[in-house]
Amino acid sequence: MIEGEETALGKLEAAFRLELSAEQKHRVRVYIEKLRQWNEHVNLTAIERVDEHLRLNFFESFWAAEHFLDPSTRVADVGSGAGFPGLAMKIYRPGLQVTLIEPNYKKVVFLKETSRALGVTVSVFEGKGEDFPKWDEVDVAAFRALHVAPALLKRFAGSGSRLLLFEGQEGLQNKRVRVIREARVPLSEQRWVRLAEVVP
């Protein structure tokens, strides 16, 4: 990890009140290098500044895992893209059972290759959340910068599965979704994470 990244990492640990192990920091470095390599060919992330990249992608995911998930939660990251929050959460909480759901083939390949490089075990499903066949094996479905499809709202209604929503300050617009717990992301005025359930 280059000097600027190491400095930013230390500041973010203090701001988010999280402490990463040497192994976790190594995995962050490997992940960033993979993103740099792949971003030349696949549009994974548009964030260029190291500190912003670490804050918005990695530490927001770490913080959400710390405050909203039990250590062995079965999580599905819907529309995983570059692996945030799901793959980053797996780095922070290795006991999570993580499935990354992504319809874009190139991004699926990136997720599989990067998880192998990180030495972590996740499942990767190529397709949309509506087509995922194993929702009965999921405790929490994470949605970041993605609306919950009506078909999924119907699927989650009364199921006991919960939603983990990464959203703006305006909050939920859907009356069928009830917030269980919410908190503003550190160092942000507009970013919120909400744990919610779908009302039957």
The CATH number of whichever domain residue 37 belongs to comes to: 3.40.50.150
**DSSP letters spanning 119-154:** T---EEEES-GGG-S-GGG-SEEEEES-PPPHHHHH
Give the domain range for residue 141: 3-198
pTM (2 d.p.): 0.93
57, 52, 68: which is closest to 91 by C-alpha? 57
- CA 143, 149, 154, 157: dihedral to nearest 10 degrees? 20
Total domains present in the chain: 1
Please give the chain's pLDDT, 200 residues, in tens. Answer: 455 677 889 899 999 999 999 999 999 999 999 998 898 888 787 667 788 889 999 999 999 999 999 999 999 999 999 999 999 999 999 999 999 999 999 999 999 999 999 999 999 999 999 999 999 999 999 999 788 888 898 889 878 889 999 987 666 566 788 899 999 999 998 899 999 999 88
Q: What is the rounded CA–CA span in Å between residue 74 and residue 86?
A: 11
